[in-house]
Amino acid sequence: MSSVHHRTATVDGYEIFYREAGPADAPTIVLLHGYPTSSFMFRELIPLLADDYHVIAPDHLGFGHSDAPRVGEFTYTFDALADLTSGLLDQLGLGRYALYVQDYGAPIGWRLALRHPERISALVTQNGNGYEDGFVESFWSDVWAYAANPGPDTEPAVRAALSIDAIRWQYVHGVPDPSLVSPDTWEHDFALVSREGNDEVQLALFRDYPNNRPLYPLLHEFLRAGEVPVLAVWGRNDEIFGPAGARAFARDAKDAEVHLINGGHFLLESHLDVVAGYLRGFLGRVLG
């Protein structure tokens, strides 16, 4: 089994942490994590890919082991996070790569694809939304209300998402056997979002989230025009991004595989081998 290296790079003055494994001359796959986690979510997937692929998994600024400047020191938007990710990949000399996106990793990944479509060899979305179809309104209504009118009337509902109970819910909801999900996951994430000042980082990104929606038609055109192969492997019981969001990729991607699995939002914690099997089969088919 390939070794996993834990590295940092300075991008625009900020230290960005990333995990790297696999032969440097193999096809590259970039893994982009979601909220509220980090590249930690890929800790068990990376070794399953690294024998055949060059794997890069960064922590977004404000998450994991990357720098986490205060809101007054950095303007947290998905555009800004994509800028830093792009800068990291440029530093690493990655001219072509597949993207694996989940949750927040999706709007960051879509920006990378739209800026440099020639670099994208394949897209893998694991509960990473790219369609209006994917939003589960019962979850997102509070985010939309807060983003439209931030203040004391709307903030408490979204601030509750920073609690350990809400983070645990993201991990275990929709999982048929929750005992498969290690409590290390939500305790790890809760400790990091509980760092002094990190709550304001997360609130800033909640406020910015609606700015991802105008990207969706551009993404759909990219999928139609570029004919990039897409794998959507999705926890069908996710009540953040529902399964309709997975099926929608088949509308625009000429080469699309869609697999709905009996799991939740963080599918790797309960169905690692299933996801890895679909992923390796897909990458082997489209990348060789």
- State the catalytic residues: 265
Distances in Å between the alpha carbon of 179 and those of 43, 77, 171, 200, 224? 19, 35, 11, 32, 41
**Taking the CB of residue 224, how many other CB atoms lie within 10 A of it?**
13
Tokens at residue 51, please? 């024998």
39: which DSSP letter? Answer: G
Instruction: Find out whether 246 and 156 touch, Cβ atoms under 8 Å.
Output: no
CA neighbor of 127 nearest in space, from 175, 94, 159: 175
Question: What length is written for the chain?
Answer: 288
Pairing relationship of beta strands 28-32 and 14-21 according to DSSP bridges = unpaired
Element (H, E) at 193: helix 183-193
The DSSP output letter for 132 is: G
Determine which helix (DSSP H) or strand (DSSP E) holds 208, and give its type and residue range.
helix 198-208
The sheet with strand 54-58 has its strands ordered as: 4-11, 14-21, 54-58, 28-32, 97-101, 120-125, 230-235, 256-261
Query: For 153, what's the count of Cα atoms within 13 Å in the CB-facing half-sphere?
Result: 5
Is the backbone peptide bond immediately before 36 cis, with ω within 30 degrees of 0?
yes
CB within 8 A of 237, min separation 6: which ones?
173, 174, 175, 262, 263, 264
